[in-house]
Chain A
């Protein structure tokens, strides 16, 4: 009896001594530095998950697994492995990215969903135990689910996600709440400013010998001034603004001074009846519209009376633009005597 007992003890000793050393030292440990960063903790919302942890043991041989189990309520039913990524490394920012495939191979980790609503994800070590890089002890692991088909539970509560990395275990509690987002609105009201620097200008006496230009003092000039008046415009409209002009040519009773016709600016010609307008951009952004965009000495008007003829425009929100505006007139030898007047109206419109 005693001999038999000794014999059994010896046999057991031999068996134990023949077991692989790894089997003797394999121990489960607790995962550390665990977190799940979600893009939304709102009930029933699609949310990404960035699950991080550090595994003390690692996984360096075949058929070892990392298992992530979401609690009931999460829904990954239609999720595909292609929307999951797996990286790991000794330090943050130096992780190796592993290839995931339906079954493990020499170059890929196996990856498969299981359980109700695919709440369980099992990653299995490559057949060579390495893959892109061996999952070494104390590696920092990052497993990411994008938000596609990753649906939060419909009930607000705490949920514990359990992790098992080759026997190292841990859990992460995440709260799912009614609404984790704050929507904020603000308005910027439309603005449009527009001004005319002088509302009464004059040519003085017209003559056949040279062109006359209107001036702000009403006396007129024979040389083109800087401007008769300015137009200033600004807007915060995203598409800018337009300035249009309307009105008739110079008129005295039934007599008129012929407006400069045509779609483009025309050079002034003394001793012929002409009345025209020319603008140029003094500051800011914006541009003149033909026929009012002529060079010095070239003016335009079009068919009198004008009806909201485009004069200038800006294509985007702009700070104040200033336009110089000049007026030129010529008369013929037999132009009827009289006092010629007209009123031109400028209108700015924002393009909202």
Chain B
């Protein structure tokens, strides 16, 4: 009975698609000088298979399929010691390091392809990275990642594939404010003043930057909260200014505006691109947002103040708190 079953298996295996080494034809493949073998993941392809009870070697003299000779014999594998990968996670960046693949018998390493997958075993997204020994995957969303490295020979063929390694990226939120103390200097009736890190300016000037980055899959939101400028109960009124860099000199105005350097979206009422200004007292208000993982985004923050004739004298102060939250 056992013999019958084995026989059936063999019959199934020996189908019309099998091509023995001695029967190879040039219609299905090209043999590259000097040889091809079954190492490096080339045991099979869509066009042909190499079968042999023992070793198989096919060698040729030219770069086309018309000049090769297939011979039964020993199987020649590339002599490769594949790279061992070491992943390191830093925030949303995964750095993969490895020692260069070593080869022998005339093989050379021309470069690598690195693969990344979100499930073990792939499928991997492969990236050609040249002949290097480190690669950074930046701004990766939170989750588990799996990596392999393919070594390429002089012809760009894969001659070795590393073991898979894994790394876990946690959610990251980076946030910084370039300056924490600003001044308008002396306010004037005749024209607007803009806060700066020194003593204010009469020309439109950004006061500080807000820099944020997150790998949160749905992005982040930056909000602020605070009160208007106050001096012992005398206040400079929060204002909404549209389409003007100066506001209305001679009136009571304090407002904020943001200029996005490309990535984050600023609400229209705060958008310096449109010369819009706004300030909402004691209200958590959104001033910028993203919708997906982002590299570092910079916002230029502007502050404007105007005063009316006979605005009460004094030193006016306020503290504005900025906050970033991931969008869950």
**What residues make up the interface of A, taking CB atoms closer than 8 Å to B?**
32-41, 158, 160, 170-175, 177-191, 234-238, 317-319, 352
Contacts and interface: CB of A to CB of B under 8 A. Distances in A.
15 contacts: A37-B323, A40-B321, A158-B173, A173-B326, A174-B173, A175-B324, A177-B176, A180-B175, A182-B301, A182-B320, A183-B180, A184-B320, A187-B184, A187-B314, A236-B310
B182 interface: yes
Which of A40, A188, A190 neighbours the largest number of chain B CB atoms within 10 Å of its CB? Answer: A188
Given A41-B324, A178-B176, A184-B319, 12 more contacts: A37-B323, A41-B323, A175-B175, A177-B175, A180-B322, A181-B180, A181-B321, A182-B319, A182-B321, A184-B303, A188-B313, A238-B312
Which of A34, A179, A234 neighbours the largest number of chain B CB atoms within 10 Å of its CB? Answer: A179
Contacts of A174: 173, 325
B236 interface: yes
Contact of A188 (B316, B318, B321, B323): B316
B325 A35 contact: yes
B316 A172 contact: no
Given A41-B323, A158-B172, A185 B315 contact: yes
Interface in B294-328: 301, 303, 305, 307, 309-326, 328
Given A184-B319, A185-B315, A190-B313, A36 B177 contact: no
A191 B173 contact: no
Which of B175, B187, B310 neighbours the largest number of chain A CB atoms within 10 Å of its CB? Answer: B310
Interface in B177-198: 177, 179-187, 193, 195
In the A-B complex, list the 3 residue pairs whose CB atoms are closest, starting with the nearest: A186-B184, A34-B328, A173-B171
Contacts of A177: 175-177
Given A186-B200, A235-B310, A318-B310, A173 B186 contact: no
A182 B177 contact: yes
B131 interface: no
B325 A37 contact: yes
The secondary-structure label for the interface of chain B is strand
B323 A186 contact: no
B234 interface: yes
Contacts of B236: 186
Interface in B199-255: 200, 207-208, 216, 223, 225, 229, 231-232, 234, 236
A40 B177 CA distance: 13
Which of B195, B312, B328 neighbours the largest number of chain A CB atoms within 10 Å of its CB? Answer: B328
A342 B263 CA distance: 76
A190 B231 CA distance: 13
Contacts of B216: 173
Contacts of B179: 182
Contact of B313 (A41, A171, A182, A237): A237
Contacts of A237: 312-313
Interface in B145-186: 170-177, 179-186
Contacts of B326: 35, 172-173
Contacts of A184: 182-184, 195, 229, 303, 317-320
B186 A188 contact: yes
B19 interface: no
Nearest to A34: B328
